[in-house]
Amino acid sequence: MEKVDFSVWEKINLIVAEIRKVEDIEGADKLYKLTLDTGIYGERIICAGIKKHYSKEELFGKKIVLFENLMPRKLKGIESRGMLLAATSQDHNKVVLISPEKEVENGTKIY
């Protein structure tokens, strides 16, 4: 694994966000369209390949960690503006979302 300078880490904005809406994406068997409340950063839409690991009901209202300043990317015609953080097994059969352990405000920065 390549080593990165601390200055690279300082550029990444990780924040707490809350999932407010979970939608299927036509023609996507792995992706959900998630609408997030990011507090001071406003509403945010991302696409996440977690459909096989989480139901809509499990996701709604869940607090997650969001890579907020990732360059936008189009997935299935939807502009995904960020990426959630998850722990994944080597074979990708187990995916677990990273969440704050206690209640914290949406938009709170992660250091």
Strands 63-67 and 95-97: unpaired
Q: Name residue 75's beta-bridge partners.
A: 78
Please report whether residue 16 resides in a domain: yes
Please report whether residue 45 resides in a domain: yes
Distances in Å between the Cα of 4 and the Cα atoms of 12, 14, 109 are 12, 17, 21
- Taking the model in full, what pTM does it have? 0.94
pLDDT digits (tens, 9 = 90+) for 56-104: 999 999 999 999 999 999 999 999 999 999 999 999 899 999 999 999 9
List the beta strands (DSSP E) in 25-88: 32-37, 43-48, 63-67, 73-75, 78-80, 83-84, 86-88
Q: What is the DSSP secondary structure assignment for residue 64, as one 8-state letter?
A: E
pLDDT digits (tens, 9 = 90+) for 3-19: 999 999 999 999 999 99
Please report whether residue 1 resides in a domain: no
Q: Quick one: residue 60, left, alpha or beta (phi over 0 = left, psi -120 to 50 = alpha)?
A: beta
- Cα angle 101, 3, 71; round to 5: 65
Please report whether residue 57 resides in a domain: yes
Please report whether residue 26 resides in a domain: yes
Question: Which CATH number do you get for residue 48?
Answer: 2.40.50.140
Domain that holds residue 20: 6-110
Q: What is the DSSP secondary structure assignment for residue 108, as one 8-state letter?
A: -
Number of domains present in the structure of the chain: 1
